[in-house]
Amino acid sequence: MKLLRLNQLDFVFFWGFASMMLLSGTECFAIDQSSTGRSLFKPINLFSDDTDRKIKSIKIEPVPRPRPQKSFTTDSRLTLEETLSIVDTHYPKLLQGHVEVSKAEGRTMEAQGAFDPVLRNINEYKRIQDITKSGVFKNAVHNESRLELPTRSGIRLFAEVRVNPNDASSPVLQSGRSGEYSGGAIIPLLRNFIVNPERGKEQQARLAQSLASINLNISRMNVLFDASSAYWDWMVAHQKFDIVKGLLDIAIAREDLVKKQVADGDLPALAITEAEKEIRKRRGNLLRAEREIAKAGFKLSLFLWGNRDENPPDLSSGNLVRADLVPRKMSEQELKSGIQRALSVRPEFASIGIQREIVKVDLKVAKNMMLPVVDLIYRQGYDTGVDGIGNVFTGGVKMTVPIRQRKARGLIKQHNMELRKLELEELYLKRKVSLEVQDSASELNAAYDRFIQAGEEVEKARAVEEGERQRFSLGDSSLFLVNRRERDRAESEEKRIEIYGQYLKALAAFNTVTGDI
């Protein structure tokens, strides 16, 4: 009898080992819906999955260019670099992105829970009928504990203890008085070996971690561009205020001179009214310029966060650092390099790559569903105590064969079409990014040309203003014309400053779309 058990054990091991060796050297075919609409049969390697290797090769840094941590104080001298440093480290929307990355890590841990060991236990007392004696009851005890360990390969290991010291008339399989102790495994030979839903969910969760980091990069890119634009608007508002303030100072200084000239009879009395009217007009312009500074300051202060409970900072001219960047025209070579860099480092392309890998995991699992379920079951143990039989053994094969497979085929078609969709999205994104770089470079060069023209306009306006003053001093002009020439010159200077700000924002846009911010 012992020899018979040994032969059974050898047979099951040999059959299982031979099946696994045979299958590991073969390929199974599953239906694959191609982009042309024809159903093709493509080979699937049943016992290999390179997704884990691809995941390990993905390296996504949440912040491509880490900056030293900064915080804003009332006496801070704000350069653009310092402003972006504060945004990088304190801005709530970017902190939310880091939270999403941590949440993705939690979802990975959740998916890994599918491989946690599970302990199952049951302890029962039963009062049941004794089938050997009609109308007579008997007491039965049912105690079972089972520790199960799922693995990523699909193999399920288990260890089991049964203590059921009752005769065979009990509805529970009987054991020796001291219990039966055994261990074994359930080994999938076709479906769910290596490629299985639980492992696929873990792989997708790990890919989603990288996707969360990429989304943080995309959000960061947009936030830093908005912060750069707000910074340059604030700087331009201050410089325009200086021009308006200088214009008012000239009018105030001239008022006493006009009054003296009227008293001397060199000017009519109406000139005093003209001078006072011009002062009030320029004071109104100054108030408007102050409002523009406040407006730009409020917009910029939204990006200057420190501690969470702090109020938005109040910006002043003491925080201002004048820009010393000299505009220049972008060369054709710089444009080509910018396009190449954008196509290689923009996070949107990495996002599509990660999404593609996630869909491929679903596709592998769907193709795996085309296979029949063939599970090798093996259990070896020892039955102890009084009435125990010693060595115990269970071995066999459990099989389930899908017939029509419409669910698997439908999933395969969906996932192939999703891959096609991502392919088209990537093609569109390449064109869109190239045009974005060209557009930002065009705006940059146009702003440079306008800046040069505005500079020449300022020089001409200053020359006209000075000539009008000389004519006025000789009595060949009027106060009205002098005021008019001064306003024209100031408007030209404001225009040049606005164009300078447009150039700086165009430069920030170029750095953003090329991934260099």
Identify which has the larger pLDDT, 448 or 387: 448
Is 58 inside a domain boundary?
Answer: no
Average pLDDT over residues 34-40: 39
Same domain, 260 and 390: no
Question: Mean pLDDT throughout 207-218?
Answer: 94
Q: Over 70: is that where the pLDDT of 370 sits? A: yes
How far lies 179's CA from each of 192, 202, 344, in Å?
Answer: 33, 38, 65
Judge if 400 and 466 occupy the same domain: no
87 and 220: one domain?
A: yes
Whether 231 and 347 share a structural domain: yes
Question: How far is CA 420 from each of CA 50, 369, 416, rounded to the nearest angstrom?
Answer: 21, 21, 6
Q: How far is it, in rounded angstroms, from Cα 493 to Cα 489?
A: 6
Which of 75, 70, 71, 72 has its CA nearest to residue 317? 75
Q: What percentage of the chain exceeds 70 in pLDDT?
A: 83
Helices (H) and strands (E) in the chain, counts: 10, 8
Looking at the chain, how many residues does it have? 517
Tens digit of each residue's pLDDT (9 = 90 or more) over 56-90? 666 555 444 445 445 556 666 788 998 898 898 88
Tokens at 224, concatenated: 């830093």
- The answer to the question of residue 388 being in a domain is yes
241 and 94 both lie in a single domain: yes
Q: Indicate the DSSP class of residue 194.
A: S
Spatial separation of the C-alpha atoms in residues 244 and 213, rounded to whole Å? 47
Residue 474 lies in a domain: yes
Number of domains the chain contains: 2
475 is in which domain, residue-wise?
80-109+199-312+330-358+420-513
The percent of the chain in helix, strand and coil, each rounded to the nearest 5, is 60, 15, 25
Binned at pLDDT 50, 70 and 90, residue 308 comes out as: low
- Do β-strands 137-150 and 156-163 pair in parallel, antiparallel, or remain unpaired? antiparallel
Residue 200, both tokens:
């696929």
What CA–CA distance (Å, rounded) separates 97 from 353?
A: 20
Nearest of 443, 436, 363, 370 to residue 402 by alpha carbon:
370
Q: Looking at the domain assignment, is residue 395 inside a domain? A: yes
Average the pLDDT over 268-296 and give the result: 93
Report the pLDDT averaged over residues 214-221: 94
The answer on 129 and 24 residing in a single domain is yes
Query: Distance (Å, rounded) from C-alpha 232 to C-alpha 239?
Result: 11
Residue 241 falls inside a structural domain? yes
Interior/surface letters 323-347, b for 16+ CB within 10 angstroms, e for the rest: beeebeebeeeebeebbeebbeebb
pLDDT of residue 12: 42
Q: What is the pTM of this model?
A: 0.79
CATH of the domain at 497: 1.20.1600.10
If we measure between CA atoms, which residue out of 316, 90, 350 comes closest to residue 220? Answer: 90
Q: Within this chain, do residues 224 and 352 fall inside the same structural domain, yes or no?
A: yes
Is residue 414 included in any domain, yes or no?
Answer: no
pLDDT tens digits, one per residue of 89-125: 889 899 999 999 999 999 999 999 999 999 999 988 8
Of the listed ranges 117-126, 134-143, 273-282, 366-375, the one predicted with least confidence: 134-143
Which of 18-27, 398-407, 448-457 has the largest mean confidence?
448-457
Burial class (CB in 10 A: 0-12, 13-18, 19+), 351: buried
% of the chain with per-residue pLDDT over 90: 61
| Stronger pLDDT, 427 or 133, i.e. the higher one | 427
Statement to judge: residues 89 and 220 lie in one domain: yes
pLDDT digits (tens, 9 = 90+) for 312-339: 677 888 888 888 889 999 999 999 999 9
Same domain, 182 and 205: no
pLDDT surpasses 90 at 213 = yes
Nearest to 47 by CA among 65, 28, 74: 28
Q: Which of 374, 362, 480, 429 is nearest to 28 (CA)?
A: 374
Q: Which pairing describes strands 373-384 and 118-129: parallel, antiparallel, or unpaired? A: unpaired
Average pLDDT score over residue span 187-210: 94
Instruction: From 160, 223, 250, 318, select the one nearest 490 (Cα to Cα).
Output: 250
Do residue 400 and residue 446 come from a single domain? no
pLDDT band at 175 (very low <50, low <70, confident <90, very high): confident
Instruction: Supply the DSSP symbol for 74.
Output: T
Residue 314: DSSP 8-state: P
Q: What pLDDT does 131 receive?
A: 67
pLDDT at 37 over 70: no
Same domain, 341 and 288: yes
Angle of CA points 97, 102, 103, to nearest 5°: 90
pLDDT in the model for residue 116: 95
Summary mean pLDDT of the chain: 85
Same domain for 266 and 207, yes or no, is yes
Which stretch of 7-11, 224-228, 356-360 has the lowest confidence by average pLDDT?
Answer: 7-11
What span, in angstroms and rounded, lies between the C-alpha atoms of 472 and 108? 80
In a domain, 319, yes or no: no
Residue 428, domain member (yes or no): yes
Tens digit of each residue's pLDDT (9 = 90 or more) over 429-488: 999 999 999 999 999 999 999 999 999 999 999 999 999 999 988 888 889 999 999 999
Residue 416 has pLDDT above 80, yes or no: yes
Q: Are 402 and 225 in contact (CB under 8 A)?
A: no
Mean pLDDT to the nearest integer, 15-29: 40
Measure the CA–CA gap between 467 and 470, rounded to whole angstroms: 5
